[in-house]
Amino acid sequence: MIFFQYEDAEQKIKKLLVSKKSPNVLQDVVDVLYEDFDTYNWVGIYLVKGEHLFLGPWNGTQATEHTEIPIGTGVCGAAAKTGRTELVDDVSKDKRYLSCFLSTRSEIVVPIKKKNIVIGEIDIDSDAPAAFTINDTVFLEKVADMLSQHI
Ligand code: SME
């Protein structure tokens, strides 16, 4: 992954977030992530409501059946519970993994926090094994920070 792609996408998202106050701004951010990174094959935002995560805006070729996930369940639920980014290089080796798409090989889940409380998360599936690096973690944690003002 070429480094300027992260900076480019970060600037695009920053612009979107300052220029728009529309309720679709989360979808717009999901679309930028999906379209700008070849290895981001499914991108979604889950929002915390009570003890569950509910799927919000998403982009990808298929819908997921996991539209509601209890906190503590799956990779998504683990990230929501601990407030820490989860990076899974090989989903077939992670017992927590809830399968959505047969093609998925790796996954990253980045919590969105407000005053240290998890209010949502960015979930990205890739068809490539070990698709996510520290660069993706740093970039997506910045995006999650920016998003927390808009949820
Ligand atoms: N794989 C996730 C479930 C969400 S789908 O990837 C869209 C998990 O293990 O929590």
Contact 47, 151 (CB under 8 A): yes
For 135, half-sphere exposure in the C-beta direction (CA atoms, 13 angstrom radius) is 12
| For ligand 1, mutation pick of 107, 110, 121, 127 (most atoms within 8 Å of CB) | 107
Rounded to an integer, the average pLDDT of 51-80 is 97
- Whether the model clears a pTM of 0.85, i.e. scores above it, the answer is yes
- pLDDT (0 to 100) of residue 21: 64
pLDDT at 135 over 80: yes
20 CA from centroid of ligand 1 (Å): 29
Residue 37 has pLDDT above 70, yes or no: yes
Adjacency order of strands within the sheet including 106-114:
68-70, 52-60, 42-49, 117-126, 106-114, 86-88
Task: Work out the angle at residue 71's Cα, subtended by the Cα atoms of residues 67 and 74, and round it to the nearest 5 degrees.
Answer: 70
Q: How confident is the model at residue 20 (pLDDT cuts 50, 70, 90)?
A: low
